[in-house]
Structure 1
Amino acid sequence: MTYAPQLKIAATYMRGGTSKGVFFKRSELPAAAQQPGAARDRLMLRVIGSPDPYGKQTDGMGGATSSTSKVVILDKSTRANHDVDYLFGQVAIDQAFVDWSGNCGNLTAAVGAFAITQGLIAPERVPADGLCEVRIWQANIEKTIIAQVPMRNGQVQEAGDFELDGVTFPAAEVQVAFIDPAADDDGAGGAMFPTGNVVDEFDVPGFGKLQATFINAGIPTIFVNAKEIGYTGTELQGAINEDAQALARFETLRAHGALQMGLIQSLEEAAARQHTPKIAFVAPPADYTASSGKAIAASEIDLLVRALSMGKLHHAMMGTAAVAIAAAAAVPGTLVNLAAGGGEREQVTFGHPSGTLRVGAAAECQAGQWTVTKAIMSRSARILMDGWVYVPAEQV
């Protein structure tokens, strides 16, 4: 059999927040992969090294976790008042599947820097010093995001003293604003709370009747009380990810919640929608020790949140789930709001497995419907490697 040489494709490996991913300009992808479909999915799977029955992604760029098995495709935007179109793909590790159903809030922090360095932003919009406002169209969920990227001497500033729990080294701060983050095209009919309630009770096999807050903001998310499902909210990854029975129960909970939210029409569809919705459990503040060994005092936080991504407890917090936390915390009566002490609030600091994070949101109620006009958080980002990825031609 004759084998063709490997394809050489321009790419950049970047960290954004607590995630890493391979970034591409759409125009530099092979022609067949410039459009959505099987060819694009095959390429992304091969770049990342999936499906890998060993679960290691050794023969690709993936890091064998949900936080490091990601791809981003960027293009100049044709939309008015936007600079760049941002498409995110969550690549399954052990399955031949790329989920394009949601956003990655962490990698959003790297989108602006990539767009600037790759010449996707009009030069007149890029200051030599100060902040460059990058107006991003998030194509997965059709929402606007605005990133404030620091510039110095005409270059993106990546070094700095901003510390982000879950990231080892400090870097420059990138503020990210999610505009009108409630999903409007994901089976929810435009409602931030798809069931019409800030708290619902629903029956889940293996759990019984649970209270839940179903919210579409940042990413579709299901919040439940930690105590109701047998946890404290102080758990680290090992307590859940090493318990196969617990992971199976969470997947059952996620599938039934997706059905309740109208994201799927049958439970069987949940397997093909791994990236969304997310599952998170909340609890009032408590002392705990983060995964780094750092002591987190109850007095430092408003509540505890643990969240699962792609079937595993996340090592920190997904950026999009942080938007959901901010939005839910701002609405009186949600489980997130009640865990934080209730009442009206525009920001919360929550504890996650790697430490703490502060997020903010502005919520308002009109005609009985809650909306969030903006959710804001700070992240950091930097280029890890820039050059090319190589993919066997016959597999694309």
Structure 2
Amino acid sequence: MRQLKIPAAFVRGGTSNGIAFLRENLPPDREDWKEIFLAAIGSPDPNRRQLNGMGGGISSLSKVMIVEKSKTEGVDIDYTFCQVSPKDDWVAYTNICGNMASAVGPFAVDEGLVKPEGDEVCLRVRSTNTGVQFDTKFAIDDGKAAVDGNFKLPGVSGTGSPVRNEFLDPGGANTAALLPSGNIIDQLELLNGKKVDASLVDATLAVAYVIAEDIGITGKELPAQVDDDPHLMEQLEHLRCQAGVLMGLGDSLNYIRDNSAVVPKICFVTPPQNSPSLSGEILKADDCDFTARMISSGNCHRALPSTGSACIAVAARIEGSTVNRVARNTDDPSSDVRVMHPSGILSVTADVEKTNSGWYCNRVGVYRTQRRLFDGFVYVPASKVPSLIAAQKKLSEAAK
């Protein structure tokens, strides 16, 4: 059969790449999107290479974002994020993806959904996946989103024009609360039955945080070392599934494993220590507040998810949490949280306070860069997208 083409762009948002669609160029029924996204990205692929599509073989390079003008009062843009499994036959709409979120505003401006005035714009964006809203602020160059600049994002070569995303009231993005279990510390069980402390935090993203030494590792392992250790990956998945149950995302370990591969994520942290980076540079302990590695859809992230970095900064400000325990002490809770990850060190601002009703996050801000890499059409084999063919036929008949 022939191929079908759909208008799209391929963009980098932060340390992720993905396909960007205007909502109007997709079928009205979201149930029809799965087969399109799988075919376009090149999944499922048991080899995890996605050579038959636009994916890059790991979770951070296997993403789709959908953008449209918002009908919500006070909101400029609605943003839907889709995580596509590099290996299996599933897609998920459960989280925000803060990295791709940094490309949403620029994409909207460049596509003409928003007409900016002046040399800078601030847009309010709503995540349709979670309901969380965020302000995205970036420079404008000759009517389009600026690309050139001096901001260096760890994990991305070169420099670019910064995009600041500030997530508003981000607690409970995937669950019911900032601390979904109601506790600062919960206990999870290792495969050998030993109990370890964990903090289950949901600020833009639901994440379970454990201390690396408690699970028998140093915390400065590079992603390939983590991915290539089957026992460690099994251990982390076992902990993640327990956390998912405690966070209310499912009623059994099997349910979380089979139906919630994207959230919660699992992250291990350690106190500041000299650590190797993917570039070969040795990162210095004095330059960070703690070290972190996060697992995303079966891979150790090569940097940190943007929403993951937002959540970990919030966790660091919650007194007594596992992240707070390992973080460098500070006398200024308004100072940036500096997180060491496999690609470098990033800074996050987190406005967190303890209220009469418990811990609360007002906002959390991250900086990223973005760039449109190319645009035109993405092609999908017609044999892979019967629902798209049916939708196009229905529209064609309605137009007659």
* TM bracket (short chain): over 0.9
Residues 302 and 333 of structure 1, relative CA distance in 2, 3 Å threshold = same
Q: Match of 1:59?
A: 52
Q: State the identity %.
A: 35
> How many residue pairs get matched?
382
Question: Whole-Å Cα distance in 1 between the matches of residues 300 and 383 of structure 2?
Answer: 36
Question: Whole-Å Cα distance in 1 between the matches of residues 151 and 63 of structure 2?
Answer: 24
Deviation at residue 153 of structure 1 after TM alignment: 2.4
Residues 295 and 207 of structure 1, relative CA distance in 2, 3 Å threshold = farther
1:294 aligns with 2:291: no
SS at match of 2:30: coil
1:276 aligns with 2:269: no
Letter of the 1:117 partner, please give it.
D
- Within 5 Å, which residues of 2 pair with 1:4-19? 5-19=2-16
Contact kept? 2:172, 2:180, Cα under 8 Å: no
Letter of the 2:157 partner, please give it.
T
User: Which digits, 9 at most, give the CA deviation of each residue in 1:158-180, with x for residues without a partner?
Assistant: 11111011101211111110111
SS at match of 2:245: helix
Q: Match of 2:395?
A: none
Question: Whole-Å Cα distance in 2 between the matches of residues 356 and 341 of structure 1?
Answer: 14
Letter of the 2:153 partner, please give it.
L
1:249 aligns with 2:235: yes
SS at match of 1:93: coil
Letter of the 1:50 partner, please give it.
S
The structure 1 residue matched to 2:218, chosen from 223, 232, 238, is 232
Question: Whole-Å Cα distance in 2 between the matches of residues 238 and 391 of structure 1?
Answer: 31
Deviation at residue 35 of structure 1 after TM alignment: 2.2
The structure 1 residue matched to 2:29, chosen from 31, 35, 55, is 35
Question: Whole-Å Cα distance in 2 between the matches of residues 232 and 359 of structure 1?
Answer: 24
Q: Match of 2:96?
A: 103
Question: Whole-Å Cα distance in 2 between the matches of residues 83 and 115 of structure 1?
Answer: 9
Question: Whole-Å Cα distance in 2 between the matches of residues 291 and 256 of structure 1?
Answer: 30
Letter of the 2:126 partner, please give it.
W
- Within 5 Å, which residues of 2 pair with 1:94-243? 94-121=87-114, 123=115, 126-129=116-119, 131-183=120-172, 186=174, 188-189=175-176, 191-206=177-192, 208-243=194-229
Question: Whole-Å Cα distance in 1 between the matches of residues 187 and 230 of structure 2?
Answer: 26
1:260 aligns with 2:246: yes
Q: Match of 1:316?
A: 303
Question: Whole-Å Cα distance in 2 between the matches of residues 339 and 65 of structure 1?
Answer: 29
* TM-score relative to the length of structure 1: 0.94
Letter of the 1:9 partner, please give it.
I
User: Which digits, 9 at most, give the CA deviation of each residue in 1:204-246, with x for residues without a partner?
Assistant: 4336201000011110000001110112221111221111221
Deviation at residue 342 of structure 1 after TM alignment: 4.5
Deviation at residue 75 of structure 1 after TM alignment: 1.0
Contact kept? 2:318, 2:359, Cα under 8 Å: yes
Question: Whole-Å Cα distance in 1 between the matches of residues 92 and 22 of structure 2?
Answer: 19
Unaligned runs of 5+ residues in structure 2 are: 386-400
Contact kept? 1:55, 1:64, Cα under 8 Å: yes
The structure 2 residue matched to 1:73, chosen from 63, 66, 83, is 66
Deviation at residue 289 of structure 1 after TM alignment: 2.0
Q: Over aligned residue pairs, what C-alpha RMSD do you find?
A: 1.3
Unaligned runs of 5+ residues in structure 1 are: none
Q: Match of 1:26?
A: 23
| Most deviating of 239-248 and 338-347 | 338-347
Letter of the 2:12 partner, please give it.
R
User: Which digits, 9 at most, give the CA deviation of each residue in 1:54-105, with x for residues without a partner?
Assistant: 2110110000011100001111100011111100010011211001111101
Question: Whole-Å Cα distance in 2 between the matches of residues 226 and 244 of structure 1?
Answer: 16
Q: Match of 2:290?
A: 303
The structure 2 residue matched to 1:93, chosen from 61, 86, 96, is 86
Question: Whole-Å Cα distance in 2 between the matches of residues 23 and 95 of structure 1?
Answer: 21
Q: Match of 1:384?
A: 373
SS at match of 2:138: strand
Deviation at residue 315 of structure 1 after TM alignment: 0.6
Question: Whole-Å Cα distance in 1 between the matches of residues 71 and 382 of structure 2?
Answer: 31
The structure 2 residue matched to 1:349, chosen from 338, 355, 364, is 338
Letter of the 2:217 partner, please give it.
Y
SS at match of 1:23: strand
Question: Whole-Å Cα distance in 2 between the matches of residues 312 and 342 of structure 1?
Answer: 30
* TM-score relative to the length of structure 2: 0.93
Letter of the 2:3 partner, please give it.
Q
Letter of the 1:345 partner, please give it.
P
Question: Whole-Å Cα distance in 2 between the matches of residues 146 and 120 of structure 1?
Answer: 16
